[in-house]
Structure 1
Amino acid sequence: MGRNQETHAEGGVRMTEQAQHDWFSPVGDSVLAAMRRRGVKADSLSQALQGGRDELRAILAGQTDIGDRTATILARILGGTAAFWTTRQKNFEEALGRSIDALNEKESEVWLGTIPIPTRRRLTKSNRKEELQRRLRYYGVSSLSGWQRRYVLDRTATRFRSSNSFTSDEGSLSLWLRSGELEAAMVDTKSWDAKRLSELLPEIRALSRFSNPSVFVPKLQSLLAKAGVAFVFVRAPNGCRASGASRMVAADKAMLLVSFRHRSDDQFWFTVFHEIGHLVLHGAEPFVDLDGGDADDRFEREANAFAEELVVPKKMQPELTGLPNRKKEIVSFARRVGVSPGLILGQMQFKGLAPFSRSSRLQRTWTWNDIEAAFES
């Protein structure tokens, strides 16, 4: 489980000295800033736009330009004038052009060969510049170093400065994180409040008893939103081993991103509890948790212990250690603890008290259709 130690300039959270001097700023950043300043919710702005939520998402992702019609709507709802928004778009396009011109050949090859975007196209000599533009637009950065600061996990690595090379796994992870950020921008929440999140933990853990994602996902989203946390799902792209991530996406808004990587209730809920642990215990630090990650990291041990105690309170953990590996006893214990039997069995498996078995009926497994339908409702 890897720790991501720096936030990005565009999110307005905690900037490194280098990030403070970045001059490149996508139009979507100004839209988000104006929405926060005026207290405009994503749903309200979406309803005013001709293309609804899809258009707002595309604006934030840099996948559509702000024309006269949209500029007029933004001016009416977010402030400024229509001319301000069209000029903002023009200035961004000029800055984007300068960014492309400043890329050296090695950087261009990394962008085009390693760092993906959602919609892939065949790369040709004639569309190379357009494809570079699409990537810088989507990630909202002006250079490869900006992308590295924002998305690459290994902050101590020197290979970027020496070779400008990254692995495809890092590229797929950055795509997952960026997609999560854009989904989080569409979720309306209260202001981030760690104390409130802690107060909501009993209600959150009780949701693990529901078997249908279409039932517990909206409830979980609503509870987390009360504490300023946008709960979002993005299916992990090929090469991405991430199960969950937590980070501040604005000064007053956190993101809890899940991939449902294993699609089982024990894995899902432990990931949720683990990421909540990071948010409660470790403040605004960004974290990305990967399969087979660094179990020796202090922050990961603390988040794991937090999640374990959410599943089974400390005073009942000795009883878990002596629990027979039989369905009746596991179900009875889970009922007394107040979580799903699958979570109890998952803890027993992790502690070596029960064998790993995909055939266990105590652990619920969902289809991708089940999961996607829950987030569309």
Structure 2
Amino acid sequence: MVDIQNEFQPDYAVSPGEVLSVELELRGMTQQELAKRTGITPKHIISILKAKSVITPETAIKFERALGMPVDYWLNLEAHYQEILARQAEEERLERDLDWLTRIPVNSMAKMNWIEKVKDKKQQLVEVLRFFGIANVEQWDDMWPNLNVAYRQNQTHEVFPEAVSAWLRQGELEAADINCAPYNKAKFRESLDQIRALTTEDPAHFVPAMREHCAMAGVAVVFVPALPKTGVSGATRWLNKDKAIIQLSLRYKTDDHLWFTFFHAAGHILLHGKKELFLEGTNGLDQEKEHEANTFAEHELIPQKVFAKFISDRDFKKTSISAFAKSVGIAPGIVVGQLQHKGLLNVKFCNDLKQRFKWAHE
């Protein structure tokens, strides 16, 4: 078996018209005579000779009869010529789009085996386009910035939309492998009570369990490590009317952030439309709907009446927080996170009650 490592790709193109011109010269045949023999107008013959018109199957048949050269010969010439022109145009397009590649976290994506790392920049760009499932950068402009996505994002650092879209694309690919029942709002709402009870468990138990509960209700849950220049901890969007995605990055690596992000995302699914764009921060975000998702997460995680009573007692010792968390069936780290968020507990206090997570590759 022969393994061809380098296939020759010419950087020049010989048009069928140039070949035709040589054949006419060898035969001592004028353009006018060829026109008479084929019934093709002299104007069209000139257009073919100047590569302004293509050789169609009909034209190839006429050339075969007039010149004695097979139809396949002319059609192969034309196909090869058009392929070379297309490759040249693609090379120019790739060269022009290399600047876009600098905004893609290629090294991080390659380390996680999302894409292959190659030395040639143009080939690397092709690899990234394949990852996104698009023909060229223009299609990225059409598809990704307008995705129906609601992601909780830290707005204090620079964010590259290209990097965010790469993270989202990986989530989409992983979600495609999760078999889900058609979305059922009532089932999803019911599953949240079961998932809330998992907050005291370790990831080996709660990850597969929450995935199973959500899949049965039409929601795919995927865990995808955050990329540089994303600042993203979670996202929610719909693949179609019957399947939603909750995507979690484990960015802050503590249980309070993870569970709040999950229930925040669940709030978007239950409360808001399937075609809307939600971005948390100051970049055009629908603040009212973000507030609704935040409120939903708070109320789902901790019953507000008993939490208000606990807060009014002002007893935020570790033992008291742990006892309260146990009484409401929630992880103590979530209570700590809520108290810190409300400014009732110093962000440096009681963090050892939080469960910390890390990715397997770390």
TM-score class normalised by the smaller sequence: 0.5 to 0.7
| Structure with bigger RCO (C-alpha 8 Å, 6+ apart) | 1
Cα 1:351–1:153, aligned 2, differ >3 Å: closer, same or farther? farther
- The equivalent of 1:349 in structure 2 is 340
Match of 1:170 among 150, 155, 161: 161
How far is the alpha carbon of 1:172 from its aligned partner? 1.6
How far is the alpha carbon of 1:100 from its aligned partner? 3.8
What is the SS of the residue equivalent to 1:256? strand
Tell me the TM-score normalized by structure 2. Answer: 0.64
Q: Distance in 2 between matches of 1:258 and 1:98?
A: 41
Tell me the TM-score normalized by structure 1. Answer: 0.62
| Matching residue's letter, 1:344 | V
How far is the alpha carbon of 1:137 from its aligned partner? 1.5
Cα 1:297–1:225, aligned 2, differ >3 Å: closer, same or farther? same
| Matching residue's letter, 1:250 | N
Deviation by residue 1:152-173 (Cα, 9 ceiling, x = unmatched):
3799xxxxxxxxxxx8722221
Are the counterparts in 2 of residues 100 and 132 from structure 1 also a CA contact under 8 Å? no
Q: Does 1:130 align with 2:123?
A: yes
Q: Distance in 1 between matches of 2:295 and 2:137?
A: 36
Deviation by residue 1:125-184 (Cα, 9 ceiling, x = unmatched):
xx44433322222112234343234333799xxxxxxxxxxx872222111111111111
Match of 1:223 among 207, 213, 226: 213
Are the counterparts in 2 of residues 264 and 365 from structure 1 also a CA contact under 8 Å? yes
- The equivalent of 1:7 in structure 2 is none
How far is the alpha carbon of 1:286 from its aligned partner? 5.8
- The equivalent of 1:114 in structure 2 is 103
1:1-377 aligned at under 5 Å gives the runs 100=90, 103=93, 106=96, 108-117=97-106, 118-119=109-110, 121=117, 123=119, 127-152=120-145, 169-210=160-201, 212-285=202-275, 297-323=287-313, 324-357=315-348, 360-369=351-360
| Matching residue's letter, 2:336 | L
Question: How high is the sequence identity, in percent, across the aligned residues?
Answer: 34
What is the SS of the residue equivalent to 1:200? helix
Are the counterparts in 2 of residues 116 and 172 from structure 1 also a CA contact under 8 Å? yes
Q: Distance in 1 between matches of 2:303 and 2:283?
A: 25
Comparing 303-312 with 324-333, greater Cα deviation is found at 324-333
Q: Distance in 1 between matches of 2:345 and 2:285?
A: 21
Q: Distance in 1 between matches of 2:320 and 2:282?
A: 30
Are the counterparts in 1 of residues 98 and 122 from structure 2 also a CA contact under 8 Å? no
Deviation by residue 1:76-121 (Cα, 9 ceiling, x = unmatched):
xxxxxxxxxxxxxxxxx99x97994684854x13432223453364
Are the counterparts in 2 of residues 248 and 255 from structure 1 also a CA contact under 8 Å? yes
How far is the alpha carbon of 1:299 from its aligned partner? 1.5
| Matching residue's letter, 2:174 | E
Q: State the structure with more CA Rg.
A: 2
How far is the alpha carbon of 1:260 from its aligned partner? 0.4
How far is the alpha carbon of 1:341 from its aligned partner? 0.9
User: Can you give the 5+ residue segments of structure 2 that lack an aligned partner in the other structure?
Assistant: 1-82, 111-115, 149-157
Are the counterparts in 2 of residues 100 and 133 from structure 1 also a CA contact under 8 Å? no
How far is the alpha carbon of 1:308 from its aligned partner? 0.6
Deviation by residue 1:43-72 (Cα, 9 ceiling, x = unmatched):
xxxxxxxxxxxxxxxxxxxxxxxxxxxxxx
What is the SS of the residue equivalent to 1:209? coil
What is the SS of the residue equivalent to 2:251? coil
Are the counterparts in 1 of residues 171 and 223 from structure 2 also a CA contact under 8 Å? yes
Cα 1:351–1:234, aligned 2, differ >3 Å: closer, same or farther? same
